[in-house]
Amino acid sequence: MDNQHNDTILKIEGVTKVYPGVCALNDVSFEVKKGQVHALMGENGAGKSTLIKVISGAIHPEKGSIWIDGKSYEHLTPARAMELGIGVIYQEFNNVPSLSVTQNVFLGKRVGGRFMFDLKEMRRRTKEIFESLGVSIPVDAMVGNLSVAQQQIVEIARALSQNIKVLIMDEPSATLAIAEVRRLFDIILKLKKQGVTIIYISHRMEEVFELADSITILRDGCHVKTCPMEGMTRKEIIRAMVGRELVEDYPSRSTQIGPPVLEVEHLTGNGDTDISLTLHKGEVLGLAGLVGAGRTELAKVIYGVTHKESGTIKLKSEPVDFRAPRDALNAGVGYISENRKTEGVFLDFPISWNITISALRRYSKLSFTNKAALENVVKSMSDRFRIKAPTMEQLVRNLSGGNQQKVALAKVLALDTDVVIFDEPTRGIDVGVKQEIYQIINEMVERGISIIMISSEMEELIGMSDRIVVLHEGRITGELEKKDFDQQKILEYASGIQH
């Protein structure tokens, strides 16, 4: 990595932020050097998101100061942070879909005279920014019509339309395909050459080793270490993040796989064509494929979100035709969506309400609800999933990403399920909570639950699956038994290369 830049662009000094019942940041201090890619890592709940908001002026700390280019600030506002050259690209983009690329790049900025915008000049500058990044996006296109990767580039261009010095990127590769990730990396390296400092937040260890010059690790709101990436190992980073040694990435299991539980035969619908697969009792069936391969689309047909056009679905040898997710849940089929914030949990309701909402009918008779039984369910599920919160009445919105995912799991498993479909179960989740999710999956399988797991992380699929089915453009292109798992072969199937 490049260590030639020794001047400090950003310094965090003694920053503390307290919320009711939790200290989000506790006397955090570290420095970031100019022109470097600086990784920020830590488990969910370590304080990364809070720190980003402090740096960008979205929240004010109780104590401490932020130094930018040698000047100290007790707190910032978002407008002041932008003036000082601080930009943030969050996981949830801030683009306006109904506006053009150019309008989004210069959103909130006036280019031209006092009473009118110089659209021609804005277009010219937008093209100039894209050229400097080595990308080509139509400047008059509606942002809502762009791909996720293109929308991300528009966000980057918006940051570059001001005098950007530090660009914070929060899980920028989480929703990108392999080729799009490579393009993102190219852009990051171009920005670095232009003297922009990147603070890169990711749970993907391989990305950090490829990109970062230095790293800061947080744990439980405290600063653990800041050091150069050179010489660091995966084990050292994990140990610093979780405070303990993780013995193995994927826990082993010795469950006996049983008879078929779910059979899909010649299924067509929601963009998929002629899909046939079988899921056995106590099995983890992995679904592999590139973004847009049809994996989530298949899950939504099975779960009744979208209706099939033809073909059959059998549950325990009996044909089923779920017209809505409620039908699937009542039959013992659960689905954990890849988008937990909009489809997995109700953010503005308490943990307890989220856990019991699906099972409410089971514990109600006429207009009476068995509150004691519901409280037992909440206690049982919160203990089983080790949900970290001061109280089960806390709003899910205020939980870390890992704990939100645990609530989504508990919500589905509060019902007796025979089949659970996991769509990207560990996306945006730190390595420590990943281990917990993997252990939960193993416990489910040992209890006889069957699992379909969709994941874009190849190592995860290979490490957790008993069999893998690969999709490409809505069709199955390959199937592999555990003894035949091979990353290259899976990628070839996912790219449509037939064997």
Per residue in 400-427, pLDDT (tens digit) is 777 888 888 888 877 778 999 999 888 7
Measured distance CA(264)–CA(319) in Å, rounded: 10
Q: Which residues pair with 315 in a beta bridge?
A: 262, 318
What distance in Å separates the CA atoms of residue 37 and residue 245, rounded to the nearest whole number?
A: 27
Location of structure tokens 């009711």: 20
43 Cβ neighbours under 8 A, 6+ residues apart:
219, 241, 242, 400, 402, 430, 431, 432, 433
Residue 406: what pLDDT?
A: 85
pLDDT band at 1 (very low <50, low <70, confident <90, very high): very low
**pLDDT computed for residue 52 by the predictor:** 94
pLDDT at residue 205 in the model: 84
Helices (H), 343-446: 351-357, 371-385, 401-413, 431-446
In this predicted structure, the answer to whether residue 381 has a pLDDT above a threshold of 70 is yes
pLDDT value of residue 498? 62
Cα 324 from Cα 300, distance rounded (Å): 10
DSSP structural state of residue 341? I
Q: Distance (Å, rounded) from C-alpha 143 to C-alpha 96?
A: 7
Backbone angles phi, psi at 485, to 5 degrees: -60, 130
- 220 pLDDT higher than 80: yes
- Which of the four pLDDT bands, split at 50, 70 and 90, describes residue 499? low
CA angle 231, 235, 240 (to 5 degrees): 90
Tell me which residue of 35, 34, 84, 33 sits closest to 55, measured CA to CA: 84
pLDDT digits (tens, 9 = 90+) for 274-312: 999 999 999 999 999 877 789 999 999 999 999 999 999
Number of alpha carbons in the 13 Å side-chain half-sphere of residue 263: 9
* Cα–Cα distance measured from residue 223 to residue 65, given in angstroms and rounded to the nearest whole number: 15
Angle between helices 371-385 and 401-413 (to 10 degrees): 130
C-alpha torsion sign, points 258, 262, 268, 271 = negative
Choose among 66, 97, 63: nearest CA to 80.
66
Q: How much of the chain, in percent, has pLDDT values that exceed 70?
A: 93
**CB-CB neighbours of 117 under 10 Å:** 15
Tokens of 219: 């744990």
Section 38-51 average pLDDT = 88
Beta carbons of 13 and 169 less than 8 angstroms apart: no
- Which H helix or E strand runs over 166? strand 166-170
Relative orientation angle of helices 431-446 and 371-385, to the nearest 10 degrees: 120
Confidence of residue 4 (pLDDT cuts 50, 70, 90): very low
Q: Which region among 109-118, 126-135, 453-462 has the lowest average model confidence (pLDDT)?
A: 109-118
Rounded Cα gap, residues 408 and 414, in angstroms = 10
Residue 19 pairs with which residues in a beta bridge?
22
What pLDDT is attached to residue 11?
A: 96
Q: Provide the pLDDT for residue 114.
A: 57
Residue pair 214/229 in contact (Cβ under 8 Å)? The answer is yes
- Highest mean pLDDT: which of 137-146, 149-158, 222-231? 222-231
Q: What pLDDT, on the 0 to 100 scale, is given for residue 2?
A: 45
Count of CB atoms situated within 10 Å of the CB of 334? 24
Q: What is the pLDDT of residue 216?
A: 97
pLDDT recorded at residue 169: 92
Q: 172-181, 324-333, 351-360 — which one is most confidently predicted on average?
A: 324-333
pLDDT of 133 > 70? The answer is yes
Instruction: Please give the radius of gyration of the chain, using alpha carbons only, rounded to the nearest integer.
Output: 24
Kindly report, residue by residue over 249-277, the tens digit of the pLDDT. Answer: 788 888 889 999 999 999 999 999 999 99
**Mean pLDDT value across residues 352-364:** 78
| Distance (Å, whole) CA 103 – CA 135 | 18
Query: Going by C-beta distance under 8 Å and a sequence separation of 6 or more, which residues neighbour residue 223?
Result: 27, 28, 29, 30, 216, 217
> For residue 104, which amino acid is it?
N
Tell me the pLDDT tens digit for each residue of 447-475: 899 999 999 888 889 999 999 999 998 99
Which among 438, 471, 449 has a CA at the least distance from the CA of 277? 471
Instruction: Indicate the residue type of 183.
Output: R
pLDDT at 366: 61
Q: Band of the pLDDT at 365, cuts 50, 70, 90?
A: low
- What is the per-residue pLDDT across 165-181, written as a single tens digit (0 to 9) for each? 999 998 888 777 777 88
**Burial state string for 244-262 with b = 16 or more CB within 10 A and e = fewer than 16:** eeeeeebeebebeeeeebb
pLDDT of res. 5: 43
Share of the chain above pLDDT 90, in %: 47
Give just the sign of the alpha carbon dihedral 418, 424, 429, 433.
Answer: positive
Look at the chain and count its residues: 499
pLDDT above 60: residue 246: no
Residue 351 and residue 333 in contact, taking contact as beta carbons nearer than 8 Å:
no
Please report the pLDDT score of residue 160 as a whole number.
86
Lowest mean pLDDT among 17-31, 47-61, 233-247, 392-406: 233-247
The amino acid at 218: L
More confident residue, 448 or 345: 448
* pLDDT confidence tier of residue 242, bands split at 50, 70 and 90: confident
Q: How confident is the model at residue 93 (pLDDT cuts 50, 70, 90)?
A: confident
Residue-level pLDDT at 244: 65
pLDDT at 68 over 60: yes
